[in-house]
Amino acid sequence: MGIKTALPAAELGLYSLVLSGALAYAGQGLLEASQAPRLDVRRVRGPGRGGHDGPLVPAAAAWPLCRPLCGLPPGPALALSGPQHGQPCLLQAGPPNLLAEVLFQGGSGFTVLRCASFALESCAHPDRRYSLADLLKYNFYLPFFFFGPIMTFDRFHAQVSQVEPVRREGELWQIRVQAGLSVVAIIAVDIFFHFFYILTIPSDLKFASRLPDSALAALAYSNLVYDWVKAAVLFGVVNTVARLDHLDPPQPPKCITALYIFAETHFDRGINDWLCKYVYDHIGGEHSEVIPELAASVATFAVTTLWLGPCDIVYLWSLLNCFGLNFELWVQKLAEREPLAQMEASLSEQMSRRVRGIFGAMNFWAIIMYNLVSLNSLEFTELVARRLLVSGFPQTTLAILFVTYCGVQLVKERERTLALEEEQNQDKLKPE
């Protein structure tokens, strides 16, 4: 089934209508829960925004905006990463101490990756004779120093070594637009968290357990969207400065809404590029064989675990995502064998896309559940899984999977449109 397979416009319109209605319904339930006077987290988190009758947002809750996933080095990475970890530490440590700790740990963690990249590139290309000055420029470039995104040394060195960098036509306008979008995103996030308390509600499991199934599913999904948004906002601001310096930094991560494949799941494109270049692609090759793929994924998540800081939550997160990545390849290999390959060949391309969309919907929720473990808490993840898969089966389970299926098909349609546009652009560039 090719990516260019189209579905009828009426069918896509139905998917859009179902998805919009479901999001509005779930969002309404989440908004009502956020405004419920029974939820008061001051006893856990201290004072938040005054003058509000609903649950209060702690000042520390704004901290994760400064840290993309995998954005901190060992130790404090998880201790400071979410609403359920280390809140007493955040409340006891004043803002100056917290800021100093965050900056030190962020700079140290990314320094490890940058120095490793410099060493590996020096070993791979001994004829290039990189100097200490090259390392210092690479490591201490201020916009990237504390929180990334990280660029591999070869890319950074090639870009800063340009004698007369030239801007593409309209690039400055694009930079201004990106800066404006970053400001709008920051304001939108602040407004969003004034009404929706997706970080505070999961901390009260008794209250969360009383939410309707649709609101609970929206809450779990929103936790991942939030982590993507804070990474996108941070990268947008940093990348704007870097592009003014004639650099081409890693782009913000792909929106979680568009992720239904483990192989494309990452919240930090720079770290993902670093891991792929030096570990994952180096060991896994074309990623088409089971054993090399297993070795590559295990090595990649082992390096990630060491960098994040080994602990139970990191172990579980790495194990689940490593399994998901390999399970996709196992299913793909199984689908290429008889009788499954013959069964799919007998289907039309449109029906094949629909069948794959069903598996994509299940994969989407596997991605959410596997990453919710580290972004929130194991207890909240268990609550969501129990409500959506056990007590809510079959009505809630099938309803949520159908809504997710609609979303996956709309994402596939977007991918199809982009593929056609790219093909048209390539045809224009071909000499006549």
pLDDT in tens, 316-345: 999 999 999 899 889 888 888 888 888 888
Lowest mean pLDDT among 30-39, 172-181, 290-299, 315-324: 30-39
Q: Is residue 377 part of a domain?
A: yes
Q: What is the CB neighbour count within 10 angstroms for residue 285? A: 12
The per-residue pLDDT for range 3-56, each reduced to its tens digit, is 678 888 999 999 999 999 999 998 888 888 888 765 554 444 433 333 333 333
Of the candidates 362, 350, 341, which has an alpha carbon nearest to the alpha carbon of residue 2? Answer: 350
Q: Is residue 106 part of a domain?
A: no
Which has more pLDDT, 20 or 79? 20
Q: Is residue 192 part of a domain?
A: yes
Q: Give the orientation angle of helix 349-375 with respect to helix 213-244, to 10 degrees.
A: 90
Selection from 92-106, 240-254, 400-414 with the highest mean pLDDT: 400-414
Q: Is residue 21 part of a domain?
A: yes
Q: Which is it for the CA torsion 68, 73, 78, 82, positive or negative? A: negative
Q: What is the CB neighbour count within 10 angstroms for residue 76? A: 20
Based on C-alpha coordinates, what's the Rg of the chain? 23
Q: How far apart are CA 365 and CA 360, in angstroms?
A: 9
Determine what percent of the chain is predicted with pLDDT higher than 90.
18
Mean pLDDT of 87-107: 63
Residue 111: what residue type? T
Q: Is residue 207 part of a domain?
A: yes
Mean pLDDT of 272-287: 87
**Torsion angle of C-alpha atoms 77, 186, 27, 382, degrees rounded to 10:** 0
Q: Is the pLDDT of residue 67 over 60?
A: no
Task: Supply the range of the domain harboring residue 372.
Answer: 1-61+170-418
Q: Is residue 138 part of a domain?
A: no
pLDDT the model gives residue 147: 79
Q: Is residue 133 part of a domain?
A: no
Mean pLDDT of 143-151: 83
pTM strictly above 0.75: yes
Number of domains the chain contains: 1
Q: Is residue 428 part of a domain?
A: no
Q: Which is it for the CA torsion 85, 89, 92, 97, positive or negative? A: negative
172-175 LR contacts (CB < 8 Å, sep 24+) = 175/240, 175/243, 175/244
The per-residue pLDDT for range 216-266, each reduced to its tens digit, is 998 898 888 888 887 778 787 888 888 888 888 888 777 777 888 888 777
Residue 144: what residue type? F
